[in-house]
Amino acid sequence: MKKLTRIGNHIGRQVVSAILAIILVAYPLRSFAHPSEQGFVLLLPTDFYIATGIATVALTAAALARLPTTTITFLFSNRTFVGLRHHSWMPTLSSFCSTLVLVVLILIGLSGSGDPLSNPLSLVIWTVWWTALLFLQGILGDLWKWINPWTGIYDLCIGSNANTPLKLPDRLGNSVGLCGLILFFAFTLADPAPDYPPRLALVTALYWMATFIGMCLFGRDPWLSRCECFTMLFRLFALISGIRTTKGTCHVGFPGWQIVTSRKSSFSVFALTALAAGSFDGMNETFWWLSQIGVNPLEFPGRSAVIGQTIGGMIGAIILLHCLFALCIATGQYLVRKHTGGPLPISFSLAFGRLALSVLPIALGYHFAHYLPAFLVNSQYLVAATNDPLTRGADLFGLGVFYVTTGFFYTQDTVRVILLTQCVAIVIGHMIAVLTAHLIALGLYGTNRQAILSQIPMAVFMILYTLLSLWLLAAPRGA
Amino acid sequence: MSQFTKNYVLPTRRNALKLLSGGGLALAASSTMPGVTRFAQAQSSEPIRIGFQIHRTGIGAAYGRWYDRTTQAAVKRMNDAGGINGRMVEIIAEDDGTDPKRGAEVVEKFATQQQCDVAFGTLFSHVVIGSAPRAGELKIPYFVVSEGHHVASGILNRYTLQPGITDVKSQVEAMAPFVSTNLGKKVAMIYPDFAFGHDHRDYFTAALAKNGGEVIAQIAIPPTETSFTKYFPKIPQQTEVLYHVMVGPAVLTFVKELGEFFGSNHPEIFGFIDSLEAVDIQSPGLEFLEGTYFWEGNPRYVQNNQTSHDKMYRTAVGVDESGASVSDSRDISTYAHMFGCWETLNIIKAGMEMSDYQGPQHRSRLIEAVEDMTDIPLSDDHPQGAKIFNGKTHQVFGHQYISKVENGRMVLAHTTSIEDTFYPDETDYTTQPF
């Protein structure tokens, strides 16, 4: 009987929901969408900024065709310095501390405030870890090996060289990590409440446990390097940095030199997926996209109303980027073959695999630009949350009344500075991408002329991507 | 006289508590009625838990930030004065993502998991409409601060009330007498072509006709439009007043292009501050607004006749004389709307004290107490102005403000009477059983 009642209630709720949906569509809604910083952006000469950005990237590509090979190679060579020595237990300790911090954050996420801008879990995960740390990883090198929450506790409990019961099948390649990355982006883009503290705490805890179990079953390094999407992503971003430290030595070079020397061609799909999904995170807020899915941008119905469209758009963006990139590689190969008249020195798959990593600086530049406004606001909330982590009225650091401000979004001068900073980050990312792609092509094809020919379609791709990235910053947004 | 005033009957029940319905005495009540306080303390030392449904993320986040700030200030003031019925007030904030589905989940969480006494705070209409049925099912009082007409229209339920802020229908209709008398009889309207704009079109067109004016052009702008010059030639030559209610990121572009189109020779211009809420009126490109008029729910700039109540309210929330944050003069508040949180919380307090609210078992008593409220005088509890609450429609009615932009400031030009905002009742929630 109780079950019948429950079913009845469930049906009743569905009916109510259906009626509500009709009312929501038919009933006039009060709209409060106000201009925000985007209103000031629309008043700025964004067309000029976009044109300048495109011209800069185009000139970079053109200059490469003129510069002697030795000059470019010299630019990307690295210098070796004696680095700071550290004991092998130090990363273990720091990683273990990171685990402890994560556990505390998860507990606060489960039991603390349901307000994502007051709960430290949401702020640390999205503002510190995802926004700031991923960016710093691309600038300073591999910080993740110090602060990931798995290796420390694994080494202490299991042992870094412990035998594992299972071997990760080679045929899986990086597919598990790739699926993880896509699921992560689906969560951030399409889930109705990815920053809701209890939900985020649960997802974080489950992912942490799944990863730890995977490490125990298949081994620490195989699992982290092929199945744990964040270690994979962070390690890829570390390649963008001009700094690399290994066992007491520090290699310093032009940003991107590690991409040129890297042989991680099996990560090509992973890198392109990260770029495509990252770019879609921004596209999905534009008037253009909302119009495509039939949503009034001034009356956004909420994330829960567009879950399917968002996931579909993200998958579409990933597929489209792969197709376009493959087309660029194939066209480049065609131009080289037409020029040489003989067999190609390298296969399509090798060219695709190696050159795909050159998009990583674009992803980093876009990551910085896209998250900069949110970081400027949420970092203030982080300060407030640190002062009162349990939202019990504590004042641990004596901040007193602390007002978060967004005033910099409401004057034209500050909005201009923010927008130009974003534009510069994107253009620099694309310039480094053009340079690294050229250097990789030099290594692949052997001669400067063949490298230049192979890179003509790639240069067009980079210029168009500059246009897309800058347009995303300037476009009116409604979600 | 409207049907509202005809139907309005001063309640005879709880006349002994009637004075408390005047929010001005609400705070004093907790300290001057020791008997009530002692009784309440004897019943429970648990705090009164108010579930705060907040737009932390999503399209309403900018408003949510100021709603939060106002709410925290109001609750601090309450607790400093002894709380409600001797119990401290605790705000349980949950983000609804400005999403109706999540809004309903948040209300459910307030009622079933967090033992909240009431739910409060929602702004966006679609979230209110999505959440109110769940509040009704779970029988938790749901005090909204949304300005939408949905409460008074009768589509919600007895558990949903809007006692702290007036609704859009009354606001728009109350503008017609001033516009037709002072600005001109022939009005051209420019509005976004969706429900929000249609509200203004329909309410204002009808109200203006009643006041002897005429809307001679209705120019609907597609919501995705970001350039407006091509629409301006549609404004008839004989237009005396241009009524605009554009919203969204292209508003500043709209004003700039309007200025470029008209230059100094333009008709009178009237708009709703919703278009430029949280935006500095002195921003570059907005010079054209000099001499134009705006509806304001609460005047952003301190006026010559500032009340002590407004002064106290600004200080408590941390807002300066220009409506900006005291910590950052660039950070303009959503001053026209956020007073609704302050006033709604004080209504909840007054209602709980009137009904001797002790816990969820008294929720219906609380609603009846609020339904019985009538005159709400200007006070520290209600700094925006005096109001009249209609217990049948669960909607409050109050003064509206019309300001003129002079030397880059909005200067109060007219205050409507409360009666100007009345319209016939469209429902009677008191006939619904609990």
The verdict on a CB contact (< 8 Å) between A303 and B318 is no
**DSSP string computed for A81-150:** EE-----THHHHHHHHHHHHHHHHHHHHHHHS-B-TTT-HHHHIIIIIIIIIIHHHHHHH---HHHH-SS
- Taking residue A85's Cβ as centre, other Cβ atoms within 10 Å add up to 9
What is d(CA B343, CA A16) in angstroms, rounded to the nearest whole number? 31
Residues of A in contact with B278 (CB under 8 A): 34-36, 410
Q: What is the DSSP letter of B57?
A: S
Contact A167, A223 (CB under 8 A): no
In angstroms and rounded to an integer, the radius of gyration of the C-alpha atoms of chain B is: 21
Given a cut of 60, whether residue A387 has pLDDT beyond it is: yes
Choose among A259, A306, A226, A236: nearest CA to A439: A259
Contact A143, A230 (CB under 8 A): no
Given a cut of 60, whether residue A338 has pLDDT beyond it is: yes
Q: Assess whether B186 and B99 both reside in one domain.
A: no
For A196-232, what is each residue's pLDDT tens digit?
A: 999 999 999 999 999 999 999 999 999 999 999 999 9
Domain that holds residue B42: 3-166+334-397
Mean pLDDT value across residues B60-76: 94
Q: Assess whether B159 and B176 both reside in one domain.
A: no
A297 in contact with chain B, both atoms CB, cutoff 8 A: yes
Helical spans, DSSP H, in B235-307: 251-262
Mean pLDDT value across residues A251-280: 93
What is d(CA A223, CA A212) in angstroms, rounded to the nearest whole number? 9
Give chain A's mean pLDDT: 89
Q: Assess whether B33 and B130 both reside in one domain.
A: yes
Q: Assess whether B185 and B148 both reside in one domain.
A: no
- 3-class DSSP assignment, residue A332: helix
B300/A1: higher pLDDT? B300
Mean pLDDT value across residues A176-190: 97
What is d(CA B52, CA B30) in angstroms, rounded to the nearest whole number? 23
Tally of domains in chain B: 2
A18 in contact with chain B, both atoms CB, cutoff 8 A: no
What is d(CA B149, CA B141) in angstroms, rounded to the nearest whole number? 18
pLDDT band at A22 (very low <50, low <70, confident <90, very high): very low
What is d(CA A199, CA A201) in angstroms, rounded to the nearest whole number? 5
The verdict on a CB contact (< 8 Å) between B101 and A304 is yes
Residue with tokens 């009477």: B417
Q: Assess whether B179 and B148 both reside in one domain.
A: no
User: Cα dihedral angle (A5, A9, A10, A12), rounded to 10 degrees?
Assistant: 140
Amino acid symbol at A474: A
Buried b (16+ CB within 10 A) or exposed e, B206-241: ebbeeeebebbbbbbbebbbeebeebbeebeeebbb
Which pLDDT score is estimated for B278?
A: 86
CA of B4 to nearest chain A CA: how many angstroms apart?
A: 22
Is B311 among the domain residues? no
The verdict on a CB contact (< 8 Å) between A39 and B253 is yes
Phi, psi at B50, each rounded to 5°: -110, 115
Q: Assess whether B162 and B176 both reside in one domain.
A: no
Which pLDDT score is estimated for B43?
A: 54
Which pLDDT score is estimated for B363?
A: 96
Q: Assess whether B173 and B257 both reside in one domain.
A: yes
Size of interface A-B (CB pairs under 8 A): 225
Given a cut of 90, whether residue B29 has pLDDT beyond it is: no
Choose among B407, B410, B403: nearest CA to B270: B403
Q: Which of A196, A296, A298 to mutate to test the interface with B (most CBs of B within 10 A)?
A: A298
Given a cut of 90, whether residue A139 has pLDDT beyond it is: yes
What is d(CA A142, CA A341) in angstroms, rounded to the nearest whole number? 43
Is B413 among the domain residues? no
Tokens of B224: 């995705």
Ramachandran category for residue A406: left, alpha or beta (phi over 0 → left; psi -120 to 50 → alpha): alpha
CB proximity list for B220: less than 8 A, separation 6 or greater: B191, B192, B193, B197, B201
Among B129, B283, B329, whose Cβ lies nearest the Cβ of A24?
Answer: B129
Q: Assess whether B122 and B270 both reside in one domain.
A: no
Contact A120, A112 (CB under 8 A): yes
Is B106 among the domain residues? yes
Is B421 among the domain residues? no
- Taking residue B105's Cβ as centre, other Cβ atoms within 10 Å add up to 21
Is B249 among the domain residues? yes
Q: Is the dihedral of CA B271, B273, B274, B276 positive or negative?
A: positive
Contact A237, A181 (CB under 8 A): no
Given a cut of 90, whether residue A190 has pLDDT beyond it is: yes
Which pLDDT score is estimated for A36?
A: 63
Amino acid symbol at B73: A
Phi, psi at B33, each rounded to 5°: -120, 75
B32 in contact with chain A, both atoms CB, cutoff 8 A: no
Per-window interface: A 43-72 vs B, CB < 8 A: 43
> ipTM score of the complex?
0.84
Q: Assess whether B135 and B203 both reside in one domain.
A: no
Q: Give me the residues paired with residue A245 across strands.
A: A250
**Last residue within a domain, chosen from B269, B296, B323:** B296
Contact B72, B113 (CB under 8 A): no
Kind of pairing between the strands at B328-332 and B375-376: unpaired
Tokens of B254: 């709209």
A36 in contact with chain B, both atoms CB, cutoff 8 A: yes
Which pLDDT score is estimated for A340?
A: 82
B88 in contact with chain A, both atoms CB, cutoff 8 A: no
Choose among B181, B53, B194, B45: nearest CA to B116: B53
C-alpha angle with apex A114: A108 to A117, nearest 5 degrees? Answer: 90
Cα B433 to Cα A37, B137, B392, B430, distances in angstroms: 47, 12, 13, 8
CB proximity list for A130: less than 8 A, separation 6 or greater: A188, A371
Given a cut of 90, whether residue A328 has pLDDT beyond it is: yes
B1/A169: higher pLDDT? A169
Q: Give me the residues paired with residue B192 across strands.
A: B221
Give the CATH number of the domain where residue B134 resides. Answer: 3.40.50.2300
Phi, psi at B124, each rounded to 5°: -65, 135
Q: Which residue of A has its CA nearest to B333?
A: A407
Q: Assess whether B183 and B43 both reside in one domain.
A: no
Mean pLDDT value across residues A36-61: 91
The verdict on a CB contact (< 8 Å) between B102 and A34 is no
Given a cut of 60, whether residue A367 has pLDDT beyond it is: yes
Is B369 among the domain residues? yes
Q: Assess whether B91 and B145 both reside in one domain.
A: yes
What is d(CA A115, CA A109) in angstroms, rounded to the nearest whole number? 10
Mean pLDDT value across residues A432-437: 95
What is d(CA B54, CA B229) in angstroms, rounded to the nearest whole number? 37
Ramachandran category for residue A442: left, alpha or beta (phi over 0 → left; psi -120 to 50 → alpha): alpha
What is d(CA B157, CA A432) in angstroms, rounded to the nearest whole number? 60
Given a cut of 60, whether residue A444 has pLDDT beyond it is: yes
What is d(CA A451, CA A157) in angstroms, rounded to the nearest whole number? 50
- Helical (H) or strand (E) element with B241: strand B241-244
Mean pLDDT value across residues B166-172: 95
CB proximity list for A273: less than 8 A, separation 6 or greater: A178, A181, A182, A318
Q: What is the DSSP letter of A297?
A: G
pLDDT band at B34 (very low <50, low <70, confident <90, very high): very low
Q: Which of A19, A24, A31 to mutate to test the interface with B (most CBs of B within 10 A)?
A: A31
What is d(CA B273, CA B255) in angstroms, rounded to the nearest whole number? 13
What is d(CA A132, CA A375) in angstroms, rounded to the nearest whole number? 8
B157 in contact with chain A, both atoms CB, cutoff 8 A: no
**Last residue within a domain, chosen from B296, B325, B347:** B296
Q: Is A217 exposed, middle or buried (0-12, 13-18, 19+ CB in 10 A)?
A: middle
Which pLDDT score is estimated for A316?
A: 97
Strands lying side by side in the sheet with B89-95: B89-95, B48-54, B118-120, B142-143, B160-161
Cα B165 to Cα A235, B56, B417, distances in angstroms: 53, 20, 15
Q: Assess whether B272 and B240 both reside in one domain.
A: yes
Among B101, B129, B137, whose Cβ lies nearest the Cβ of A23?
Answer: B129
Q: Is the dihedral of CA A356, A361, A362, A366 positive or negative?
A: positive
Mean pLDDT value across residues B365-375: 96
For A388-404, what is each residue's pLDDT tens digit?
A: 998 888 889 888 888 99
Is B405 among the domain residues? no
Is B125 among the domain residues? yes
Which pLDDT score is estimated for B44?
A: 64
Name the least confident of A47-56, A258-267, B113-122, B225-234: A258-267
Residues of A in contact with B147 (CB under 8 A): 30
